[in-house]
């Protein structure tokens, strides 16, 4: 059965409003999706800039620091050094007194200990007596020389008389006024006088030799007197050495075994003195660091015992060899299992006077920084 549709009459038509699509409905999704792709291109461009800029900045910064660096050479393999003096007695004897204690600070010339001086005082008296005896002996030699001279003059006068008598007797014989037999006694007397002169001359020569070849020599210039005077000087020196003095300012140590009554031999080490008046640092640089280090360059020293304190110093010298070369048995590398190891060379750093204000001790650990005055860029430009 067909339905019949009749048109509405005028005034009977009504307007029906359709409901709007809610947010999130499928109809609104299409336009939103179309607008979203505009943002991602901006984010990708920023990421690309960062990926290029950050490595570039790092490369430029690293290159700058590399080119401007390399001026300073440093090492923490360094130690404070001070002169160490082995104290010993120049003479043998028993210790009479000890005036210092362990690790006591002493001044140059201060008495450390004394040795019994009585044996050396007696030796000095004996030497003085020998000196006086030598002087007396020289005076006796001078008297002997004078006696020999007088004997020679007497023998010469006798010879002159005998010669005159012989000449007269010879003239009488030649004239026939005397026989030849009378000439024999005169000739014998003449020969005896000649022999006496020769003997007297030998005595004078012996006396001259005993006076060192110079009869007018001063008594104290005679060799025997000078030898005796040298013995006196030795005895005086030995007596003075019975008092042992500090050779320099410093700290005395290892005196615990130094006791009164102990016998010490000549030259035996009985104590040590560490000089505090002069300190330096021995820095062991790698051999690869010594290319630009020269004597006279400024250096900065830090001692572990005084954090934050910087000491000024100067490169005084560079070692002639590695430390192993001065060892008792140097390393022998002529083997098939040799492995190359970077060696270290000792460099001496002299400290300025400011180091005296610190209580530096030999063997303290330190760090050294040497200013070579040339950066990596300078080295590349000056090749």
Distance CA 353, CA 313 (A): 9
Predicted pLDDT at 7? 52
Radius of gyration of the chain (CA): 56
Confidence of residue 346 (pLDDT cuts 50, 70, 90): very high
Q: Which CATH class is domain 69-83+275-373?
A: mainly beta
Q: Give the residue from 278, 329, 283, 319 showing the smallest Cα distance to 302.
A: 283
What average pLDDT score do residues 350-367 get?
A: 80
pLDDT tens per residue across span 134-178:
999 999 999 999 999 999 999 999 999 888 888 888 888 787 777
| Lowest-confidence segment of 61-65, 281-285, 321-325, 365-369 by average pLDDT | 61-65
Predicted pLDDT at 355? 60
Q: Assess contact for 94 and 230: CB atoms under 8 A.
A: no
Distance CA 356, CA 231 (A): 44
Predicted pLDDT at 68? 60
Per-residue pLDDT at 369 exceeds 50:
yes
Per-residue pLDDT at 31 exceeds 70:
no
Which two tokens mark 333? 């590398």
Predicted pLDDT at 241? 92
Helices 118-175, 181-210: inter-axial angle, 10-degree rounding: 160
Considering Cα of 71, then 76, then 82, then 88, what sign does the dihedral take?
negative
Q: Give the residue from 108, 84, 86, 82 showing the smallest Cα distance to 350.
A: 82
Per-residue pLDDT at 35 exceeds 60:
no
Q: Which CATH class is domain 85-117+241-269?
A: mainly beta
Q: Bigger pLDDT: 7 or 288?
A: 288
pLDDT tens per residue across span 74-99:
899 999 998 898 888 899 999 999 99
Predicted pLDDT at 334? 65
Which two tokens mark 235? 């005895």
Confidence of residue 55 (pLDDT cuts 50, 70, 90): confident
For every residue of the chain, which 3-state class applies, written as one string? CCCCCCCCCCCCCCCCCCCCCCCCCHHHHHHHHHHHHHCHHHHHHHHHHHHHHHHHHHHHHHHHHHHHCCCEEEEEEEEEEEEEEEEECCCCEEEEEECCCCCEEECCCCEEEEECCHHHHHHHHHHHHHHHHHHHHHHHHHHHHHHHHHHHHHHHHHHHHHHHHHHHHHHHHHHCCCCCHHHHHHHHHHHHHHHHHHHHHHHHHHHHHHCCCCCCCCHHHCHHHHHHHHHHHHHHHHHHCCEEECCCCEEEECCCCCCCCCEECCCCEEEEEEEEEEEEEEEEEEHHHCCCCCCCCEEEEEECCCCCCEEEEEEEEECCCCHHHHCCCCCCCCCCCCCCCCCEEEEEEEECHHHHHCCCCCCCEEEEEEECCCCHHHHHHCC
User: Could you check whether 85-117+241-269 and 119-237 share the same CATH topology?
Assistant: no
pLDDT tens per residue across span 233-246:
999 999 999 999 99
Q: Please, is 226 exposed, middle or buried when counting C-beta atoms within 10 Å of its C-beta (0-12, 13-18, 19+)?
A: middle
For all residues of the chain together, what is the average pLDDT? 82
**Structural domain spans, the chain:** 69-83+275-373, 85-117+241-269, 119-237
Fold of 119-237: Helix Hairpins (1.10.287)
């Amino acid at each position: 059965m067909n339905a019949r549709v009749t048109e509405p009459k005028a005034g009977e038509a009504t307007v029906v409003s359709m409901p709007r699509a809610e947010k999130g409905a499928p109809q609104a999704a299409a336009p939103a999706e179309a607008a979203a792709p505009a943002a991602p291109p901006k984010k990708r461009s920023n990421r690309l800039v960062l990926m290029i800029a950050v490595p570039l900045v790092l490369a430029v910064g690293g290159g700058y620091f590399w080119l401007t660096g390399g001026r300073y050479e440093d090492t923490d393999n360094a130690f404070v050094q001070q002169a160490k003096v082995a104290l010993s007695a120049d003479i043998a004897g028993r210790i009479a007194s000890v005036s210092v204690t362990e690790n006591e600070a002493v001044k140059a010339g201060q008495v450390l200990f004394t040795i019994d001086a009585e044996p050396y005082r007696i030796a000095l008296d004996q030497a003085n007596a020998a000196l006086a005896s030598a002087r007396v002996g020289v005076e006796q030699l001078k008297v002997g020389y004078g006696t020999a001279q007088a004997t020679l003059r007497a023998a010469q006068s006798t010879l002159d008389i005998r010669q005159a008598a012989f000449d007269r007797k010879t003239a009488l014989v030649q004239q026939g006024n005397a026989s030849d037999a009378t000439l024999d006694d005169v000739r014998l007397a003449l020969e005896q006088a000649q022999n006496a002169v020769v003997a007297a001359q030998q005595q004078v020569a012996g006396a001259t030799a005993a006076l060192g070849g110079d009869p007018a020599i001063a008594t104290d210039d005679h060799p025997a007197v000078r030898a005796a005077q040298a013995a006196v000087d030795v005895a005086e020196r030995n007596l003075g050495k019975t008092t042992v003095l500090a050779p320099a300012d410093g700290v005395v140590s290892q005196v615990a075994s130094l006791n009164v009554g102990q016998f010490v031999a000549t030259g035996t080490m009985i104590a040590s003195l560490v000089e505090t008046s002069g300190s330096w640092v021995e820095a062991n640089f790698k051999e690869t660091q010594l290319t630009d280090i020269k004597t006279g360059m400024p250096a900065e020293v830090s001692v572990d015992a005084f954090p934050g304190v910087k000491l000024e110093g100067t490169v005084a010298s560079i070692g002639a060899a590695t430390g192993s070369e001065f060892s008792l048995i140097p390393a022998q590398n002529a083997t098939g299992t040799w492995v190359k190891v970077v060696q270290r060379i000792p460099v001496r750093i002299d400290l300025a006077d400011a180091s005296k204000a610190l209580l530096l001790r030999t063997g303290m650990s330190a760090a050294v920084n040497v200013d070579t005055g040339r950066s990596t860029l300078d080295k590349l430009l000056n090749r």
